[in-house]
Amino acid sequence: MIFLEQHSKYRELLKREGIKNTKHRTAILEILEESDSPKTAEQLFISLKDKTASIDMSTVYRTLDTFTSKNLVVKSNRVDDGKALYEFNHHEHKHHLLCVGCHKLISIEDCPIGELQQILKRKIDFDITGHKLEIYGYCRDCKNFKEPSTDSEDV
C-alpha cells in the first residue's frame, strides 16, 4: 500500500518537528512534495478541496507558516505580482530557470556561486551564508516564437 507508506512518512516528519499530525497537514505536504514547482496558497487551497473534505484559507496559511518556520517548506515571492510561493524543502541546492514565454519553471543544479564566494571573501571580506538566483529566458519550445530581439542588454 503505497498510500499508507506515504502517510506514515509525513507522520514521522511531523512528529520529528514536534507538531501534531492532521489530515490537512499530510495533504499539504503530499501536494507540495509531488509538485515540481512552487505553489501559491490559493493553488494549494484548490488542490486540497479535491483531496480532503474542506479546508479554510486561514488554516492553509497557518499551516504553511508553521512548515516554513520548521524548514519543511521554503517560502518565496513570485516575481511579477509578489504573491507568496511555497515549495517542499528537498534540502538540495538548486535554482530555477523561468521561461518568459510559457512561464515553465525548470530546475537546474548548476550554481556559479561557489567561485564567487572566494572572490568576495578576499576582495571585500564578506562571508556568504546564502543566496538566491533566478534566471529568466526562453526555453527550447518558446525561443522560436519570441519577437525580433530588441536589445539583449543586462545579461
Tell me the number of residues near DNA by CB under 7 A. 27
Q: Does 40 bind DNA (CB under 7 A)?
A: yes
Kindly state the cell numbers that stand for 138. 526562453
d(CA 9, CA 14): 9
Give whichever of 83 and 146 is closer to DNA, judged by the CB atom.
83
| Residue 57 touching a second copy (CB under 8 A) | no
Residue that has been written with the C-alpha cell 488554516 in this structure: 59
Neighbours of 151 (CB within 10 A): 5
Please state the φ and ψ torsions of residue 63, each to the nearest 5 degrees: -65, -45
Residue with cell 487551497: 45
Phi/psi of residue 13, nearest 5 degrees: -55, -45
Measured from the CB of residue 112, what is the shortest distance to DNA in angstroms? 30
Interface with a second copy, residue 125, by CB under 8 A:
yes
CB closer to DNA out of 16 and 121 = 16
Q: Rounded to the nearest whole angstrom, what is the least distance from the CB of residue 87 to a second copy in the complex?
A: 14
Cell digits of residue 129 = 551564508
Task: Decide: is 119 part of the binding site for a second copy (CB under 8 A).
Answer: yes
Q: Which of residues 96-155 bind DNA (CB under 7 A)?
A: none
Residue 110 binding a second copy, by CB under 8 A: yes
Phi/psi zone of residue 52: left (φ > 0), alpha (ψ -120 to 50 degrees), beta? beta
The binding site for a second copy (CB under 8 A) comprises 77-79, 82-84, 91, 93, 97, 99-100, 106, 108, 110, 112-113, 115-117, 119-120, 123-140, 143, 152-155
